[in-house]
Each structure stands twice: as structure tokens, then as C-alpha cells.
Structure 1
Amino acid sequence: MIGKEIIRNKLYDEFIKPTNQKKDFIGIEIEIPIVNLNKEAVDFSIVHDVTDKFKKHYSDFKDDGIDYEGNVFSLKNPDTDDIVCYDCSYNNIEFAMGKEKDLFTINDRFCEYYSFVKESFEEFNHTLTGMGINPYRKYNLNKPIPSERYLMLYHHLKSFKNYSDIPLAFHKYPEYGMFSSASQVQLDVQKDDLIQTINVFSKLEPIKALLFSNSVLFEENNDLVCFRDYLWEYSTHGVNPHNIGMYDVDFKDIDELQAYLESLNIYCVMRDGAYINFPSMNLLDYFQKEYVRGEIYSNGEYHEIDIKPSINDIKYLRPFKFINLTFRGTVEFRSICTQPIKDSMCVAAFHLGLKDKLNELEEIIENDHSLYHNGYTAGELRKLLIHEDIPKIFNKRDLCKLSKEIVDLSSSGLKERGIGEELFLNPLYSRIKKHTNPGNEILSMIRKGINLEKIIRDYGNLNKVI
């Protein structure tokens, strides 16, 4: 048994202490669906061929992950820390860009990699597209990458049938990590700004739903334009709702934030290089046990194993909040769907421009009554605004005016950086003017009879910003 004070100190060292570093970088991760235009499953042999071709062309990239079948699923450039990999399955490619000081440097490298990979896939009538849910997912083989991490993750998500004593109606898509894609941003935030950053940005989630929603579950649900929220909330990641979604609390100080961290659940650890799954349980409860019974994967099968909790297991604590603290001393914003590829940098630009405008942003929210201060929490508002049809209690014109005021503030923050990054916000102004977002645009085009393959190609087109 490990005492609460030891746990609290370890959480501080892992999550809070790294924010004491004086740095100011940007990190971007963009997950992108792979689509077989033959309306068949993505051909994994083609995926592996494209990976080999990329590795030969970009010789600075080295093997960073090899699956149990000998296939490379991750390549890394040690000079830039750029990673090109497959996320959860070989149906989903990810470009994890190494940290930089400005968006233009990141955008240049992303555009180069993306163009090469997309053109390589198109030789085989496969392509990439900027959607938060793979539009041809029904054709795909939803099979995890045979690696330690992804087998563990899928095993955890499939275990929902084992939870019979919690008030949660699980959905039927434990494989959702293999067909859903996100655009994530990591920003360095100093410890003194940490609480305000989490509090204020949490309240922005409803606005982000209006601007960025782009995950439609084709042929099954045309109501939610950000179906990704539902997929996370009603999975085993949501056994403890504190592990996913919104905070919906205002933290007063670091102590309250640490108390929140103590409320999270843990569901896996590693021993001797192997992951061990066990039923999701509260972190403090886990450390009160002498032994925990879990399952370990070996020789194609899962076997039961008893493990003794160790304080170092905190590094396997994996919450998936909309706003996450990381071990790097960064704040990760992870609630936004993959965007149409030509708009990819608007996600990072939006957050970067607002990072140092917290007081002004807080004032906008405090003075607004078109959305806020109407009896709903930010979390409840997010749930309302990921629908295609916005509830009649809200005036769409007023919501667009509020959205523009916030995007204007982000633009102001970017202009003060003096680099010209504010141009990456142009897609957001277009969406505000049209009262739409990429998910709504997809549904509108389908209703007009526009072929889905054309939409796939349009959302995958890259018009590089110069």
C-alpha cells in the first residue's frame, strides 16, 4: 500500500513540475484516414510499401516502431523529432511534428510529407482525406496494429462487456480508434498560467464544437457532426467520466488540480516491456491494493497475472481529457477532429493565438449571454452544439458574432508574434461567415447529391499556405 502523500508528490513531479521550465514551443499531431477508393478494405500491403518508399526517400527517418509481424509502423527523424506513424491500425496515418517556435516551419514540413505520402497512395487508388471519421470505414478491416501498445488499447476497449455495475451505456464500436482521427496541439504553458489556461480554455469547448466539428458517422448517425465525442465518452475510457471530456469545474489552485488528478482511473501498466490490462479503477484505490490481477498478452493469447503496484506506475496514467497535462510540461488540446487538409494549421493557430490572451478571453466569456450564463455548463453546451441542428434556444447569428470575437482575439495574439501566422485563421472566418463547419458542410453536400468520393478528394486536397 502506498500513502496518499507519496502519490500526490509523484503526480506533482510528473504533471506539474515540468511546467516550471521556461520554453515556448508548439507541437502538432494530425491523424488522417486512409481510404481505398475501390470501396474495399485498405490494403495493408500497400500501406507497408508506402512506408518503405517514404523511408527510402526521407533517409533521415529511422525505424521507431516495428510490429510483431516485422512491419514498420513508426518512423522518426532524430534531428527534427518528426514522426510519421500509423495510429491504432494501418487504416490511420499520423504526422506528429517535432516542436518548433512557429507554425510556418511546421506547416512546410507537414505539407511536404503529406504530399509525398498521398501521391504514393494514389498510385494504388488509395488516398488520404481530412475527416474525423473514415468515410469508408465500413469496408475496412478494423484490426489493431500487432504491437504491445495497440493490442493493449484494443483489449481495454473490448472489455466493456465486463463492466456490469456502472451506469454507462457503452456503444458498439470498441474499434473506434481504427476509424476516428483527431488534430491535436501541444503548447508549453508556464506553471503560473496553468490553472487559468485550463479554466478558460475549458469554457471554449462549445465554440470549438461550432467551428471545428468534422466527424460524421456516415449511414448510421447524421445528427452529430462531432461523433468522436460520443465514441470516447461511451467507451471504457469513460468508465470514470473524469478521464475523458470536459473538466466542468473551475480550479482555484494547483492543489485542486492535483486533487482532480487523484480522481482519475488507471487501467494498464508495464512490466518487463509488456503491457498488463486490468479493470479500470481509481488511482488511489489501485495504490491501496497489495496485488492487482490483470491480463498480459503472450504468444497470441492473454494470460492472467498478478502485479504489485509501484509508485512509478503513475507514468501509465492515461487520461484522455479535452485538455490534458503531459509529462513534457505541455498542455495538450485534443478535442478537435481532423480538419480538411488545406485547413490543417487553423487548429494550432486558434489555440496559439489565444494562449497569451487569457484575461481578454475570460472577459469575453464573462460578458457573453448569447451562449454562456443561460443555465448550462460548458460541458452541456458542448453536447448541444455538436449536433447538426443547433437548438432554437440559441440565435445562430449571435453565436457567430461571439465566435468571430474570439477568433479576432486569436488573430490579435498571432499578429503580436509578428510572423504572419494569423493567415492560418482564414478558414475559420469563412466558416463563421457561412454559419457552418466541415461536418455540416459534408451533410449539406451529400443532400445536394454530391458524390462522397468527390467530398473525400476535396477534403484531402492540399492548398499550401505560402
Structure 2
Amino acid sequence: MMINKEMVRNQLYGEFIRPTNQNKNFIGIEIEIPIINLDKKAVDFNVVHEITGKFQRQFGDFKTDGVDYDGNVFSLKNHLNDDIVCYDCSYNNIEFAMGRERDLFSINERFSEYYTFVKESFEQHNHTLTGMGINPYRKYNVNEPIPSERYLMLYHHLKSFKNYDNVPMHFHKYPEYGMFSSASQVQLDVTRENLVKTINVFSKIEPIKALLFSNSVLYGEDNQFTCFRDALWEYSTHGVNPHNIGVYDVEFKDLNDLQSYLESLNIYCVMRDGAYINFPSMNLLEYFAQDYVSGEIYCNGRYRQIDIKPCINDIKYLRPFKFINLTFRGTVEFRSICTQPIRDSMCVAAFHLGLKDKLDELEDIITNDTVLYHRGYTAGELRKLLIQEKLPGFINKNDLCRLSRDIVDLSSDGLKERNIGEEIFLKPLYDRIKKHSNPGKDLINLTKNGIDIEKIIKDYGKLDITI
């Protein structure tokens, strides 16, 4: 049976829109953190595997959740609270994916316990963890993917940029960037009634988020950008279709508009019989219009050609990497923020959580602002300006700080209304506004002033357990 546009539309609705028909209010947090060998050598993967086993013995409720082709454990899951400790893309990156909770203090307490144990364990081998969005020691590492279905597929896709010779873009030289870049992601439950407005309004503050949270300096190669991660995504094969990455630079009128945007996305992989199949990135509707699609499958250590027949259920393998993503859980995932200095880890979730129910007030701030907005630039263009070390000349620094403070104040008001005390996690943002800085700018300035990167690594890896 031919798969028509209406079938695709209905499937997209079921996958991404229908799950928002809910009345929940949970928080999910994922924090990716670079591992660093202080000997200025590659991260020792034998040490990584040893510490994984040590963690599992210490925290007995964590059970093996993922094993690579070499028999090494790369994911552990606690089925009592759904916390996951795993490695992201490679064994150079550890991830703490915290199971959903109703408050930030519960998440922070468990994260702090896990992080402290893992960091102290690594330091026994002269390795450490630090809170940076790009690993400053990446040049020493072996940048190879975890030998598993998902990560081999992902790296194969990113390496295929040389096969795209007819696209209006250029590609950077870092297809392995997933192995040295780290993010701090937040998932929040959003009701269907608020879904469109949540995406519209939060998209407009991506420039402010860049100003407050940027922490991805390509140390040793580029000191002009405080959030080089944006370029790593945009100028990779994920960005062949610009709708798959970055800011929504359109405003949705309703759910139909949003669904039309989903239809405009590209797909580049599916699974058959437990194995991933890569193919050239193509529009979703174009994919389903074909009788067969030619792709590549990993088998016995190499890739071979395979033809597949599109199936409507392949939509579950649609993998956009927008700054704001819809998930099959009925959540909205905010994914544009770099890993923060570890002591500030909860400020990311606190910022989004406080604003989630303040959409009208947040929109009013943006609508009435003329410092940043209504100057002829889209939100995406403004974000590109604000991840540069120096502000563009048309922006008044003091007025921009006032605008940022108004938005953080609004987030604080939202948290105060929850009456839990979570507004304490916003303190780092007020400090940054006061200093007219962010962690990326701090790193650039510190290194310019002769501060050793080792000292910054140590400072950004500290955990303030007094909260």
C-alpha cells in the first residue's frame, strides 16, 4: 500500500502531538560531561570501564542497560527512579540522565552523589570531569564512537558529509564532534493547549539563553565564539536540512502549522531487525514517496548496501535536533544549552521551569523590547550575534543586561510560586548578568590573562554541595 501524505501526517500526530494530551508536571534533566586525562594523553578507556563497574557496585540499584560489541557496559539504569548513567557517543563523554521528578532539589541531590563518586574515582587515575561544552583536551583523545548500533550509525552519518556535493552549505571538519561536545538538556511536560505557544515564545529567547549560558569555546583553535557547539550542529550532515537543527525562525499559528513543520524535516536512518540503516538525508515526504530507498547497514565490521521499503512506523526514527524538540513522551526538550560549570548545573532546568507557566508575561517582555528585538533580526540571527565574544555595536550592553535580568526575574517569580525554594538555583545567572559575562566569555578572558587551562578545568569541575 502506498503511503500518502495524510498517513504521514496522522503518524506524526500520534508520535509527537497526541502524547501531550496529559496533565503532568515533571522535570527531566540530562547532563553530558567531558572526561579529561590530566596527563594530557587520551582518556584511558580501561579506566572508564573500571569505574563503570565500580559505580555499579556502589549503587546496586543500577543494572546493565547497554553493552557494546566488545562486551563493555556503556549504560546503567536504575529502574526504581529511571536514572541513567551512560557514555554519550564515545567513552570520552559521561552522561547523567536523571529520571523525572517534581522538584529540582531531588534531582540535584542524586546528581551530586553520582557526580562526586565518579569524579573522585577518576581522580584516583589522574583523570577528572569538568563542566565545559567542548572538551579542552579533545586533541589528546581517541575520538572513536562507542561500538554500538546507535553510535556507529550516528558517526557514519556525520562522516558522510563528503557525499553531499549539491547542497547550499559548507561542512566543518569535525564529524567526530559528538565525542567532544557536551550539552545540558531539560525536558518539561507541556500540555497540548500550551504546546504551540511554548515553542513560539521560548524560541524567541534563544538569543538571551546564548548570552546567559554559552560555554563551548573551541579552546586552542577558536576564541571568537562562546558557543561553538551551534556551528558544530549547523554545519554537519544534521544541518543538510536547516529545519532539522537550530531555532524555529517561524511562528506557528496552531497545531496544523506545527505539523506542517514536522513534515518538512529530513530523515536519515531507520532500523530493520535490530540494525540501523543509514541513507542520504532526505525530506520525510520524499522518503515515503519512494518504493525503495538505498542505504547502508553495518555488518561484521563493515558497511554494505541494502535496499529497504519505507514503512509508516519509520517515523519513530525521525531524529531532528532542534533547540526545542518534541518527544514521544509528551515532553518538550530544550537542548540548546552547553554543559555548565558543574556547581551551576541546575540553573539550566531552573531557568526553563520558572518560565514554563509565565508564557504571557515572557511574550510581553519580548513584544515591548527594542534593545534586542524588533531591530530587523530573527531570533536565530540574534543568537549568532550573541555567541560571539564581542557584542554587535547596535546593542547597548547595560540595556541588554536589564532585559536579561527581567527575564531571569520572571523565571524566579515562576519558581517562587512553586513555593519550594528552587529560585536559589538561578543565583549563577544573576552573577553572570552583574559581570556582563558567561562561562564561555570567562574562559576566553582567563586564558587571555595567562590563566592555565588546567586551573579552569579544575574550577569548572567543582561541585558546590552546600545548596
Give the equivalent residue in structure 1 for 2:289: 288
3-state SS of the aligned residue for 1:40? coil
Cα offsets for 1:400-437 (capped at 9, x unmatched): 00000000000000000000000000000000000000
SS in 1 for 2:291: coil
Q: Identify the residue that residue 20 of structure 2 maps to in structure 1.
A: 19
Deviation at 1:448, TM superposition (A): 1.3
Query: Pairwise mapping of residues 258-273 of structure 1 onto structure 2 (< 5 A)?
Result: 258-273=259-274
Show the counterpart of 1:120: 121
Q: Distance in 2 between matches of 1:464 and 1:331?
A: 29
**Following the alignment from structure 2 to structure 1, what is the Cα–Cα distance between the partners of residues 247 and 462?**
32
Deviation string 1:166-221 (CA, Å, 9 cap, x unpaired) is: 01100000000000000000000000000100000000100000000000001111
Q: Tell me which amino acid in the other structure corresponds to 1:80.
A: N
Letter paired with 2:274: G
The CA distance in 1 between the partners of 2:159 and 2:107, in whole Å, is: 36
User: Do residues 358 (structure 1) and 359 (structure 2) align?
Assistant: yes
1:460 aligns with 2:461: yes
Tell me the secondary structure at the aligned position of residue 439 of structure 1: helix
- What is aligned with 1:28? 29
Give 1:180-199 correspondences, 5 Å limit.
180-199=181-200
What pairs with 1:64-143 in structure 2 (closer than 5 Å)? 64-143=65-144
The corresponding residue for 1:256 is: 257
1:328-370 residue CA offsets vs partner (Å, 9 max, x unmatched): 0000000000000000000000000000000000000000000
- Does 2:5 align with 1:4? yes
Letter in 1 for 2:33: I
1:136-155 deviation line (CA, Å, top 9, x unaligned): 00000000000000000000
AA at the equivalent of 1:59: G
Provide the residue aligned with 1:414 in structure 2: 415
In 2, the alpha carbon distance for the partners of 1:129 and 1:396 equals: 30
For structure 2, which runs of at least 5 residues remain unmatched after alignment?
none
Task: Please list the CA deviations of residues 206-244 of structure 1 after superposition, one character each: whole Å capped at 9, or x if unmatched.
Answer: 000000000000111100110000000000000000000
Quick one: distance in 1 between partners of 2:394 and 2:37? Answer: 42
Deviations along 1:250-277, one digit per CA (max 9) or x if unpaired, are 1000000000000000000000000000
Hey, what's the Cα distance between the residues in 1 that align with 2:105 and 2:282? 43
* Residue in structure 2 matched with residue 403 of structure 1 by the alignment: 404
Counterpart-to-counterpart distance in 1, 2:370 and 2:267 = 39
Asked if 1:340 is matched to 2:309, the reply is no
Amino acid at match of 2:67: I
Q: Provide the secondary structure at the position in 2 that maps to 1:295.
A: strand
CA distance in 1, matches of 2:218, 2:250: 30
TM-superposed CA distance for 1:158, in Å, is: 0.1
Partner of 1:278: 279
User: What is the letter of the counterpart of residue 97 of structure 1?
Assistant: M
Report the Cα distance in structure 2 between the residues aligned to 1:324 and 1:119, rounded to whole angstroms. 34
Q: Distance in 2 between matches of 1:97 and 1:150?
A: 21
CA-CA distance at 1:26 after TM superposition: 0.2
Cα offset, 1:447, TM superposition: 1.2
Instruction: Give the Å deviation of 1:465.
Output: 4.3
1:281-309 deviation line (CA, Å, top 9, x unaligned) = 00000000000000000100000000000
- CA–CA distance in structure 2, aligned partners of residues 377 and 450 of structure 1: 37
Q: SS at the partner of 2:147?
A: coil
Q: How many matched pairs? A: 466
Among all aligned residue pairs of Structure 1 and Structure 2, give the percentage whose two residues are the same amino acid: 76
- SS for the counterpart of 1:68 is coil
Q: Which amino acid in structure 2 is aligned with residue 62 of structure 1?
A: K
* TM-score, L = length of structure 1: 1.00
How high is the TM-score relative to the length of structure 2? 0.99
Partner of residue 297, structure 1: 298
Q: Secondary structure at the match of 2:282?
A: strand
Deviation at 1:392?
Answer: 1.1
Distance 1:246 1:115 in 2: 34
Deviation at 1:92, TM superposition (A): 0.2
| Alpha-carbon separation, structure 1, partners of 2:344 and 2:404 | 17
Counterpart amino acid of residue 22 in structure 2 = Q
SS in 1 for 2:408: helix
Aligned partner of 2:442 in structure 1 is 441
What is the identity, as a one-letter code, of the residue corresponding to 1:79? L
Name the residue aligned to 2:220.
219
Provide the residue aligned with 1:427 in structure 2.
Answer: 428
